[in-house]
Amino acid sequence: MTMLIIYLIKNSFLHFKRLCGSLYRNAKLKQQNPTGMFDLTSQVIECELEKYVVIFDNTKVYNCKIGAYSYIQMNGRIFHCEIGKFCSIAASVSIAPGMHDMSRVTTHPSFYFNTDALPKIFVTEDKLELYKRVHIGHDVWIGEKVVIIDGIKIGNGAVIASGAIVVKDVEPYSVVGGVPARHLKYRFDEETIELFQKSEWWNYSDEWFEKNADMMLDVDRFKEYLKGL
């Protein structure tokens, strides 16, 4: 009974310590990024964020660069990646979850990863590459429960269907889905994709968007605008 009480006290203390740490990090994060929104249960560590980024509840983001207006919904695990502007990332998405080398005797990280996350390891330095950065373009929509493995590149305007596991690069404006993810179709024809890519509209000013918000819902009208530039 005494051991149980001690365990409960220690566990409660650890939870309290983590909560205090999370509150401090989020307060500092909000100070550094006043236009952003960050849920108190989220963790954003060693990241560079542009304006109006939103991180929803219970999402962990580590070692990432996130472009303006992009958001990550709840329960995400987003590591070691660069995310462009205007990206929509749904709930329970996992990006760059880490690598295990299947060509070795064992895939267990205690033999190649110097970490305090495991109670016992057998190395004093990292022996293998542990992760590769993921690069996600602008205006990318990633559906719920998608997994994107390390080292993948997602082109501008791409759509990743819910539940997909992405194991190879995705072309701009490609719609992919399945396990493993495969190309299903392109969002637009080749001419439209080329126009949008060349325009780099995601770099337009806030003032332009405020004046032309309706145009962003009309493909033909926007194409005519671009052709007239």
Contact 111, 60 (CB under 8 A): no
Write the CATH number for 39: 2.160.10.10
Contact 168, 155 (CB under 8 A): no
- Residues 107, 94: Cα–Cα separation, whole Å: 20
What confidence category does residue 15 fall into, taking pLDDT thresholds of 50, 70 and 90? low
The residue range of the domain holding 216 is 189-229
Contact 80, 134 (CB under 8 A): yes
In this predicted structure, the answer to whether residue 13 has a pLDDT above a threshold of 90 is no
Tell which wins on pLDDT, 130 or 143.
Answer: 143
- Which of 80, 100, 108, 138 is flagged as catalytic? 100
Q: Each residue of 75-85: pLDDT tens digit?
A: 999 999 999 99
CB neighbourhood size of 128 (10 A): 13
Domain assignment present for residue 4? The answer is: no
Q: Each residue of 192-225: pLDDT tens digit?
A: 999 999 999 999 999 999 999 999 999 999 999 9
State whether 199 and 182 are in the same domain.
no
Q: What's the structural domain count of the chain? A: 2
Domain assignment present for residue 172? The answer is: yes
Q: Which pLDDT belongs to residue 6? A: 67
Is residue 138 annotated as part of the catalytic site, yes or no? no
State whether 183 and 194 are in the same domain.
no
Residue type, 47: C
For residues 74-97, give the mean pLDDT: 98
CA 27, 29, 31, 36 dihedral sign is negative
Domain assignment present for residue 101? The answer is: no
State whether 68 and 176 are in the same domain.
yes
Sheet holding 88-89, edge to edge: 37-38, 54-55, 71-72, 88-89, 141-142, 159-160, 174-177, 182-186
